[in-house]
Structure 1
Amino acid sequence: MLLKIVALAVVFLNGHICQQVNTPDGPILGTTEYSIAGTPYSSFYSIPYAKPPVGTLRFQAPQAVEPWTEVYNATTEQKRVCYQLYQDLPEETEDCLLLNVYVPQSNATDLPVMLFIHGGGFISGSGLNGGPQGFYRPNFWMDNNVILISINYRLGVFGFFSTGDEIIPGNNGLKDQVQAMKWVQRNIASFGGDPKKVLIFGQSAGSASVGWHLLSSSSTGLFRAAILQSGTPLCPWAYQRNQTTISYKTASLIDSQFNTSRDSNKLLEVLQSVDAKAIDDAALTFANWDSSQPSWAERKQLEQGFYFAPVVEVENNDSFVTGYPYVILENGNFNKIPIMIGTDADEGLMNLSEYLDSQLAAYDEAYSRMNPGNLHLVDAQDISEVGNAIKEEYSPNDTFLNNKLGAFEYFTEQDFTKSIVKHAELHSAEASTYFYEFSYSGEMGFNTYYRYPGSTNITHGEEMGYIFSTADPNNFSVADQLVHKRLLRLWINFATYLNPTPEVDELLQNITWPELKPGAFKFVNILSDLVVTAGTPKAKRIAFWDSLYEKYGIKPFDTY
């Protein structure tokens, strides 16, 4: 038996062995492919999970795809990507709400399902296997008994435009993800998957998306566990506070009446009537204009969230979330399911760019420019004191321009570590929580792109090369191969057993990964060995940030 399905037909198409699966949505034809290790698996490419969000469906919540009767040919991946803010690709289209399903050809039944949500700052990326923005290949996963799913969702202006009211409430990219999960619930049993064993996971903005689903009642019951890799709704970049201003400034570049008008109904009418490229170009023009401002101002915009990012909605028929992320977590009003959550050791190395020097020079002119916006500071003395405290903590003896290592540490802990640790602490009060820090630097990772003397070179996304790649692990060091095998084992264990170390396992060095408990933080540091560690990662710095929020922060906090 190749798959546990309602109906299976093995056919030959252009010399390839194909499998037809009859799902509640309609018959789907997939193809046989092989992992790097030679394991056969079935690929079902570019399956539509929602109606194309065009015309009157543009800037609206997604609608379920209409069932079909003819066989849908899913043997070849359609290189369709959702509009990307900073790229102009011929493959961009609004008709991009597609997903890929990869199924091992084994006798296993009721397989766990792992649905991956890609990152890219909510403005770029795709769930493609190859082609433009394609990276998320199933090779490593298909040597195991797990179904892997990758998805596209609306990005940038199309996915996260919001007028701050019920007309265009926002979060359509997140609502697309919900629609994809509903598709899984309807159809995955036909592929041999268990709809009761769905785990969602993501990296960066995909990880923050996973975190938003933990906070939304719209997502309740659609998955039983989650893995968050380097992102949470508590990260300052993952939530936009100024969505109405951004949206109308963007719209005014399409129609000048919106320089003064705040008529959301008229705005929706205009936006649904113009060409998608005009909207994409307007968003890019706005983003480029704002980015041309002094670098410290751009940084403060980042503190207020990416331009097009998740928002807190007003109550409406399709509300995704209507409360501040921090408040929801603090009050325990979230989906209480097991999670794994973690960071990379030097996330902030991703700030290494041609703009870094001008940004650091601006900080050195006024250290208050480094103050987190989510402290909500208003008192001039507090603003000055916090800025000076950050300077003293991260670069006491020199400017940041001359001490880039201190700046990278600031970026790592301000944008990622403190927020992710706080999310884990708040979640652990209500549900099982396993924390990790990825601290291994090897050639399978991304460290060849972001290197700086004196740093660990373990940058944002470092672990991704060990779990998604076309590279043959046998071409890398024994240490790299072990880290690769261990990550897959831990991730798949969690999807299968809701515990990353359910039994003694020599590959995992016989460790037991402890749950994080309130007041008793423990985590696994993923190095060339797996090291169980007491206390928070970067404990001294976490204590520093916590003291700032306790002394100066004005509640209610939205992020952290």
Structure 2
Amino acid sequence: MSTISHPALGSLRGVTFASTIQYRNIPYARFNGRFKEATLSDGPISSSGTVYDATEWGPLCPQTKNGIKFDFALAGVELPHIDDYRMSEEEGLNAVITVPKDIQAGAKLPVIVWIHGGYWVVGGNSWPQYDLQNLVELSIRLGSPVIGVAFNYRLGVAGLLASEDLESNGNFGIKDQVLGFQWLQKHIAGFGGDPSNITAFGESAGAMLLSTLLQLSSALFNKALVMSGSATLRPSKTELQQKALYNDVINHLNLAENTAKERVEELSTRNIESIISSLPPLLHVGPSLEPGFLDEIVTLETISEKTTPSWCDEIVIGDCFHDASCFKTRVLNHENNAAYFIACIESVLEPASAQAIINSYHIAASNSPEESLVHCMELLTDLRWYLPILHFALDQKQGSSTAISRYHFHQTNKFDCQWKGLAAHLFDITLLLQNHSDLLQDDDLKLSKDMAERFLNFAYGRGFVSEAEGGSEGNVVVWGPNGHTKIVSADEYDEMLRNGRGRLLRSLGWETCEELANALQFGPKK
């Protein structure tokens, strides 16, 4: 155990590792009640003469039990974990801070902040696959030490439900993260971190959340790594859409016949875990339009304009070649995927364009179910992940000062799971965060090290693509396959590794592509 005397927080006792100290369950925000905004936690957390015990994991924000199993299923392998994670509304807004040992007085180390994914409904900073301790240890060995931070934030109905009944726009989970970054700016210097050099990174729902934070006017961090997600993947909901979601929640809770006052009373006082257990486990929640906070819906047309604020110096955005693997149960689970996809394509596109898409993605009803799954997955990945990256990188608003870099992940999963042989959703995080090293093969370990080094260089302001490699402008980092890292031009990447499909989709126009993606997810256009 090791103790730090923080100038504002007081004395804290953390867990000591080989070259790091980890401080857990640090409250960064004060819970003010369900469906209410939290406030910044400020001032000491230990009283005079006492030491705050930061050696135990804090509770998760309330969520579906065993949500960690969803995450492990995407990665294809499990890590040792707690069987029953503690949850708490009042104490869930906590941070984990991992710092190098023996930081010199006055040090100002770069800070990396992880925003976990989990469909906006599950996840937490105590999950072993999201622990930053190994990544911070590696940063020290590489001579580029950083401080790692991970926040919990409110999830599901507790974090995002909006309605007139509740007199709420939701967005609580997003505003929790805003408070987290504000807390960091005030307090990370006491841990040896530089509040003017903060790099945020998130994957899947964490990337969607990060992309949402980039729409705000307040400066929260300096650099961002947006991995396998953007604001277009789950854009801000309109009032009508949130009303429909609220009605679904009310129906699941058997409150449809109650008065508005009775519904609010029940939602506000019933045990939150009881509410969550009565709802579908992967409820389709999302942010709300809110004047003065989230003013507009981000589309493929507006993504670069709305998510490249002047206060963020540099953004890296990328995807996995088979990111739509995470949509298997929701979209890619038809008796005949190819027939369904062809029907959707033909319901939206003119015959020539429809045939061009069908041919380019090799979608045919005669394919085996395994072939159909992969080909349909590639189309859905390109529409929901790759195309937003192209718009983001290639259609940046004129005069923007934000530097944009890109990567694409093609390393295939080798675990004995349903995603074996595919560059599936979440496998990039499995490599980057260094928590599966004992389970990885040599080429995975080689790529894992390059990913971490490149990310740490980015956090240090050295660029995602070095000048010796040609710099980021016009170039793309390709991770995998076979453990190799390549730097290629954007056009070369699309032709060689995407078979010109980005160019084909962009030729259809963003509105048509949005319409096609919606048809694939929700059914053929009527």
Tell me the TM-score range normalised by the shorter chain: 0.7 to 0.9
Q: TM-score, normalised by structure 2?
A: 0.80
Aligned to 1:543: 503
Pick aligned residue for 1:92 from 87, 90, 102:
87
Q: Deviations over 1:356-389 (max 9, x none)?
A: 7752537625744468xxxxxxxx7768887666
CA deviation after TM superposition for structure 1 residue 186, in Å:
1.0
Shift of 1:272: 1.6
Tell me what 1:530 maps to. Answer: 485
| Paired position in structure 2 for 1:310 | 287
Correspondences of 1:348-497 after superposition (within 5 Å): 348-352=324-328, 358-361=333-336, 364=339, 367-369=342-344, 390-399=357-366, 402=369, 403-427=372-396, 429=398, 430=400, 431-441=402-412, 447-451=415-419, 456-472=421-437, 477-497=441-461
Partner residue in 1 for 2:14 = 30
8 Å CA contact 2:413, 2:422 repeated in 1? no
CA contact (8 A) 1:112 1:147 kept: yes
Task: Please report how far the alpha carbon of residue 49 of structure 1 lies from its aligned counterpart in structure 2 after TM superposition.
Answer: 0.8
Q: Is the CA contact 1:101–1:150 (under 8 Å) kept in the aligned structure 2?
A: yes
1:367·1:390 contact (CA, 8 Å) conserved in 2?
A: no
CA-to-partner distance for each residue in 1:306-332, whole Å, 9 max, x for gaps?
A: 61122322x2xxx53121113654545
For the residues of structure 2 that align with 1:21 and 1:539, how far apart are their CA atoms? 57
Match of 2:280 in 1: 284
Q: Which residue of 2 aligns with 1:46?
A: 25
**What SS does the corresponding residue of 1:437 show, helix, strand or coil?**
strand
CA contact (8 A) 2:109 2:193 kept: yes
Go from structure 1 to structure 2 and tell me whether the alpha carbon gap of 1:259 and 1:225 turns closer, same or farther (over 3 Å shift). farther
Q: Secondary structure at the match of 2:99?
A: strand
- Counterpart of 1:113 (choices 99, 111, 114) is 111
Q: Is the 8 A contact 1:400 1:406 kept in 2?
A: no
Does residue 101 (structure 1) correspond to residue 104 (structure 2)? The answer is no
Q: Which runs of 5+ in 1 are unaligned?
A: 1-15, 35-39, 288-305, 372-379, 505-510, 517-521
Describe the SS at the equivalent of 1:139.
helix
- Root mean square deviation, CA, Å: 3.4
Q: Deviations over 1:383-439 (max 9, x none)?
A: 888766654543454356643331121232123211233223344752201101112
C-alpha separation between the residues in 1 aligned to 2:118 and 2:302?
Answer: 25
Deviation at 1:191, TM superposition (A): 0.5
Percent identity between the two aligned chains: 20
Is contact 1:164-1:170 (8 Å) kept?
A: no
Gaps of 5+ in 2: 68-83, 140-144, 522-526
Secondary structure of the equivalent of 1:46?
strand
* Correspondence 1:83 to 2:83: no
Paired with 1:428 and 1:449, the residues of 2 have a C-alpha distance of: 42
Aligned partners of 1:360 and 1:401 also within 8 Å: no
Residues 475-518 of structure 1 show CA distances to partners (whole Å, capped at 9, x for unaligned) of 755433321221111101111115124565xxxxxx234224xx
Shift of 1:86: 6.2
Report the alpha carbon displacement of residue 125 of structure 1 after superposing the two structures with TM.
Answer: 1.1
Other structure's SS at 1:194 match: strand
Q: Secondary structure at the match of 2:334?
A: helix
- The amino acid that maps onto 1:531 is K
Closer, same or farther in 2 for the Cα pair 1:471/1:396, shift >3 Å?
closer
Query: Is the Cα–Cα contact under 8 Å of residues 32 and 42 in structure 1 kept in the other structure?
Result: yes
Q: In 2, are the aligned partners of 1:199 and 1:223 still within 8 Å (CA)?
A: yes
The answer (yes or no) to whether the contact 1:361–1:401 under 8 Å persists in 2 is: no
**Counterparts of 1:277 and 1:485, CA distance in 2:** 40
Please list, as runs of the form range in 1=range in 2, the aligned pairs for 1:173-192 lying within 5 A after superposition: 173-192=173-192
Match of 1:123? 121
User: Does structure 2 conserve the Cα–Cα contact (< 8 Å) formed by 1:364 and 1:399?
Assistant: no
| 1:333–1:157 Cα change, 3 Å | closer
- Do 1:162 and 1:243's aligned partners in 2 also have CA atoms closer than 8 Å? yes
Alpha-carbon distance in structure 2 between the residues aligned to 1:141 and 1:459: 25
Q: 1:147-162, aligned counterparts within 5 Å?
A: 147-162=147-162
Quick check: 1:99–1:151 contact (8 Å CA) kept in 2?
A: yes
* CA shift for structure 1 position 48: 0.8
- Aligned: 1:65 with 2:38: no
**Is 1:322 aligned to 2:282, yes or no?**
no
Partner of 1:31: helix, strand, or coil? strand
Name the CA shift for 1:539/1:175 in 2 (closer, same or farther; >3 Å): farther
| CA 24–384 in structure 1, closer or farther in 2 if over 3 Å, else same | farther
User: 2:217 aligned with 1:199, yes or no?
Assistant: no
Pick closer, same or farther for the CA change 1:442–1:407 going to 2, 3 Å.
closer
Cα 1:19–1:543, aligned 2, differ >3 Å: closer, same or farther? same
Give CA-to-partner distance per residue, 1:40-76, whole Å, 9 cap, x none: 11111111111135xxx21122211253342453442
Q: Distance in 2 between matches of 1:141 and 1:339?
A: 21
For 1:458, the aligned partner's letter is A
Q: How far did 1:200 drift?
A: 0.5
Alpha-carbon spacing, 1:425–1:357, altered in 2? closer, same or farther (3 Å): closer
Deviation at 1:247, TM superposition (A): 1.2
What TM-score comes out, normalization by structure 1 length?
Answer: 0.75
Give the AA of the match of 1:170.
G
The match for 2:270 among 269, 274, 281 is 274
Structure-2 change in CA distance of 1:232 and 1:175 (3 Å): same
Q: Give deviations 1:267-326, integer Å, cap 9, x for gaps.
A: 5444222221232133338x6xxxxxxxxxxxxxxxxxx61122322x2xxx53121113
Deviation of 1:238 (Å): 5.3
- Range with greater deviation from structure 2 (387-396 or 166-175): 387-396
Q: CA deviation at 1:463?
A: 1.5
User: In 2, Cα distance between the equivalents of 1:334 and 1:550?
Assistant: 19
Structure 1, residues 193-220: CA drift from partner, whole Å, max 9, x if none? 0100011001111111111111112xx2
SS of the aligned residue for 1:121 comes to: coil
Contact 1:208 1:232 in 2 (8 A): yes
Amino acid at match of 2:478: N
Conserved? CA contact 2:103–2:192, under 8 Å: no
The answer to whether the 8 Å contact 2:304/2:397 transfers is: no
**AA of the residue aligned to 1:177:** Q
User: Residues 29 and 38 of structure 2 are in contact (CA less than 8 Å); yes or no, is this contact kept in structure 1?
Assistant: yes
- Paired positions, count: 475
Task: Name the CA distance, whole Å, in 1 between partners of 2:467 and 2:341.
Answer: 53
Secondary structure in 2 matching 1:47: strand
Q: Report 1:211-290 matches (<5 A).
A: 211-217=211-217, 220-235=218-233, 237=234, 239-240=236-237, 242-254=241-253, 256=255, 258=256, 263=260, 267-284=263-280
Q: Per the alignment, do residues 369 and 462 of structure 1 end up closer, same or farther by CA in structure 2, a change over 3 Å counting?
A: same
1:174 touches 1:209 (CA, 8 Å); kept in 2?
yes
Task: Give, in whole Å, the separation in 2 of the partners of 1:82 and 1:119.
Answer: 13
Are the counterparts in 1 of residues 319 and 407 from structure 2 also a CA contact under 8 Å?
yes
C-alpha distance in structure 2 between counterparts of 1:259 and 1:363, whole Å: 42
